[in-house]
Chains A and B, each alone.
Chain A
Amino acid sequence: EAGVAQSPRYKIIEKRQSVAFWCNPISGHATLYWYQQILGQGPKLLIQFQNNGVVDDSQLPKDRFSAERLKGVDSTLKIQPAKLEDSAVYLCASSRNYRGSRAFNEKLFFGSGTQLSVL
């Protein structure tokens, strides 16, 4: 079974530039997540998709971040314009689904991440 694919692996940009990340989840996984992980901290959820619908984007800085999953498969995360504090690893993860309206008990599969440096 192929894993979660992410690209690029590394990206260096200057502040105020734009950047986009791509994620292809495991085939058949309905739920896709984008996480931001700042050095020394645990991952922070940016956005969660269930198929092509957004389940949770409460922590997504919508003035500069956007994400889409148009066909319910792969997804892109964009930052425009980037700030210095956006330097982090951006992780994509997927899971088959979640059972029940409140419980989350599906195993997550993570991609290798994109390491973004904003100079």
Chain B
Amino acid sequence: KNEVEQSPQNLTAQEGEFITINCSYSVGISALHWLQQHPGGGIVSLFMLSSGKKKHGRLIATINIQEKHSSLHITASHPRDSAVYICAVSPIQGAQKLVFGQGTRLTINP
């Protein structure tokens, strides 16, 4: 079992829909990152959080440390939101590196 699991692996929705991507992890962490990867490989860091909730535009990220779970929400989704969304955690124990989920491929149809 991977230390970081994302669901769903693939998600297709219509423009305007409310999107939720989930991330569960099995280790104690100091921070969790949500990343966005567009076709072509470039990765952009969306959020880094260790507790509570963060919001940026139409994106909202929440984390529940006790339940070892985080969600990324997109309100009023748009075709330009189509990308792979990756959850990554920085474990408290062990080397100073990120452990990545396998990503969620989101497609928003017009």
Contact = CB atoms under 8 A, between A and B. Distances in A.
B94 to A, nearest CB: 8
Contacts of A102: 30, 92-94, 96
Contact of A112 (B33, B40, B97, B100): B40
Q: Which of A40, A42, A89, A115 has the most CB of B within 10 A?
A: A42
Contact of A56 (B95, B100, B102): B95
Nearest to A106: B48
A25 interface: no
Given A41-B102, A102-B92, A102-B96, A108 B33 contact: yes
Contacts of A30: none
A108 B86 CA distance: 13
A43 interface: yes
Interface residues of A, number: 28
B93 A105 contact: no
Interface of A: 37, 40-45, 48, 55-56, 58, 89, 91, 93, 98, 102-113, 115
Interface string B37-65: 00011111100101000000000000000
List the 7 shortest-distance A-B pairs measured between CB atoms, nearest first.
A42-B100, A113-B41, A104-B90, A110-B43, A103-B30, A105-B31, A112-B42
Which DSSP category, helix, strand, loop or mixed, fits chain A's interface? Answer: loop
26 contacts: A37-B41, A41-B102, A42-B4, A42-B86, A42-B101, A42-B102, A42-B103, A43-B100, A56-B95, A58-B95, A102-B30, A102-B92, A103-B92, A103-B96, A104-B30, A104-B96, A104-B97, A107-B48, A108-B98, A109-B45, A110-B42, A110-B44, A112-B42, A113-B40, A113-B41, A113-B43
B90 A103 contact: yes
Contact of B96 (A56, A89, A113): A56
A73 to B, nearest CB: 20
Q: Which of B31, B42, B86 has the most CB of A within 10 A?
A: B42
